[in-house]
Structure 1
Amino acid sequence: MNTLFSNKILTDFIAISTWQSLVVIGIFLFLQIGFWIFLKKIKIQFIYRVLSGMLLGLLFGIIVQVAIGFPDSSDLYEKIDGKVTTIFKEEYKWLEESLIWLSLFKNIFIAGVMMMCIPIVFLAVLRITSKVGVRGLKKITIKGVALLLANVAIAFILTFWLGYLFKVGDGLTLENNGEIATEGMKPIPQLISDYIPKNIVSALSGTLIIPIMVIAALMGMSIRILSKRNGPQMDKLRAGTEVAWKISTSMMMNFMKILPIAVMAMLATAIVGKPIGALASIGKVIGIGYLALAICVLILTLQIAASGINVKQWWKQAWTPFVQAFATQSALATLPTTLTSVGEGMKVNEKAVNTIGSMSTTLGLMACAGVQAGITTSLLWTANSDGDVVHSMGLLPFFLIALIVTMVASLGIAGTPGTATVVTVGVLGGMGFGGFIAPVLGIIQPLDGIFDMGRTGVNVLGANAVIPIVAKSEGLIEDGSPLLTKRLIAKQKEIRVNNEFKYLMEDEIAIELNKKNKAIVNKEISKDEKQKIKLDYKQFVEDKKMDFLKVKQESKETYKNELINIKK
Structure 2
Amino acid sequence: MFFATENTSILRDFVSISTWQSLVAVLLFVGIEIGFWILLKKFKIKFMYRILAGFAIGLVYGLVIQGIIGFPDKDQLEGYKDPEHNFYWVSELNVWAEFFKRIFINGVTLLTIPIVFIAIFKITAKPSSRGVARITLKGAALLLSNVAFAFAVTYALGIWLNVGVVKGYSLVSTDGGASSGRDNVPLPSLIWGYLPNNFFLTLTGTSIIPVMVLGALAGGSVKLLSRRKAVEMEAIRKAMDTGWDIIMSMLMTFMKIMPLAVMSMITVSITSRPIGMLAVIGKVIGIGYVGIAISIGWLTLLIFLSGMKVSGWWKHAWKPLVQGFATQSSNASLPITMGTLKEDLKVSENVTGTIAPISTTMGLMACAGVQAGLATSILWTGTGTGSVVHDMGFFSFTLLSLVITLIASLGIAGVPGTATVVTVGVLGGLGFIGFADSVLAIIAPLDGLFDMGRTGNNVLAAVAVAPIVAKSEGQIEEGSPLLSEKGILRQKAILNKINIKEEFAVKIENTTRTYNKSVNVKGIEASEKANLKSKYSEEVKTLKADKKAALLSAKQELATLKEPLRKSKA
Aligned residue for 1:91, secondary structure, equals coil
Counterpart-to-counterpart distance in 1, 2:330 and 2:415: 10
Alignment match, 1:178: 176
For the Cα contact (< 8 Å) 1:4–1:19, is it kept in 2? no
Among candidates 81, 98, 122, match of residue 103 of structure 1: 98
Alignment match, 2:314: 315
Alignment match, 1:53: 54
CA distance 1:439–1:473, shift in 2 (3 Å): same
Alignment match, 1:161: 156
1:200 CA displacement: 2.3
- Cα-to-partner distance string for 1:150-199 (whole Å, 9 max, x where unaligned): 10011111111110011100141233242758768533332222221222
Alignment match, 1:192: 191
For the Cα contact (< 8 Å) 1:118–1:204, is it kept in 2? yes
1:3 CA displacement: 4.9
Letter in 1 for 2:127: V
Counterpart-to-counterpart distance in 1, 2:377 and 2:413: 18
Counterpart-to-counterpart distance in 2, 1:391 and 1:566: 62
Alignment match, 1:77: 78
Q: What are the within-5 Å matches in structure 2 for residues 290-369 of structure 1?
A: 290-369=289-368
Letter in 1 for 2:99: L
Aligned residue for 1:16, secondary structure, equals coil
Counterpart-to-counterpart distance in 1, 2:507 and 2:374: 52
1:24 equivalent in alignment to 2:19: no
For the Cα contact (< 8 Å) 1:185–1:413, is it kept in 2? no
For normalisation by structure 1, the TM-score amounts to 0.95
Aligned residue for 1:543, secondary structure, equals helix
Counterpart-to-counterpart distance in 2, 1:54 and 1:534: 72
Letter in 2 for 1:63: V
Letter in 1 for 2:159: Y
Alignment match, 1:63: 64
1:437 CA displacement: 1.4
Aligned residue for 2:539, secondary structure, equals helix
1:139 equivalent in alignment to 2:134: yes
For the Cα contact (< 8 Å) 1:184–1:425, is it kept in 2? no
Letter in 2 for 1:53: G
- Cα-to-partner distance string for 1:13-49 (whole Å, 9 max, x where unaligned): 0000011111111111111111111111101222221
Identity %: 49
Counterpart-to-counterpart distance in 1, 2:4 and 2:455: 40
1:445 CA displacement: 1.4
CA distance 1:287–1:486, shift in 2 (3 Å): same
1:4 CA displacement: 6.1
Counterpart-to-counterpart distance in 2, 1:462 and 1:523: 57
Counterpart-to-counterpart distance in 2, 1:185 and 1:459: 25
Give unpaired runs (5+ residues) of structure 1.
Answer: 79-84
Aligned residue for 1:178, secondary structure, equals helix
1:535 CA displacement: 3.3
CA distance 1:176–1:533, shift in 2 (3 Å): farther
Q: What are the within-5 Å matches in structure 2 for residues 210-221 of structure 1?
A: 210-221=209-220
Letter in 2 for 1:367: A
Alignment match, 1:415: 414
CA distance 1:285–1:297, shift in 2 (3 Å): same
Alignment match, 1:430: 429
Letter in 1 for 2:295: C
Alignment match, 1:286: 285
CA distance 1:6–1:285, shift in 2 (3 Å): farther
Q: Which moved more, 1:412-421 or 1:318-327?
A: 412-421
Counterpart-to-counterpart distance in 2, 1:556 and 1:454: 45
Aligned residue for 1:168, secondary structure, equals coil
Counterpart-to-counterpart distance in 2, 1:132 and 1:324: 34
Alignment match, 1:82: none
For the Cα contact (< 8 Å) 1:414–1:422, is it kept in 2? no
Counterpart-to-counterpart distance in 1, 2:345 and 2:91: 43
Q: CA RMSD in A?
A: 1.8
Q: What are the within-5 Å matches in structure 2 for residues 228-243 of structure 1?
A: 228-243=227-242
Counterpart-to-counterpart distance in 2, 1:126 and 1:535: 43
1:528 CA displacement: 2.7
CA distance 1:284–1:229, shift in 2 (3 Å): same
CA distance 1:386–1:238, shift in 2 (3 Å): same
For normalisation by structure 2, the TM-score amounts to 0.95
Counterpart-to-counterpart distance in 1, 2:259 and 2:399: 43
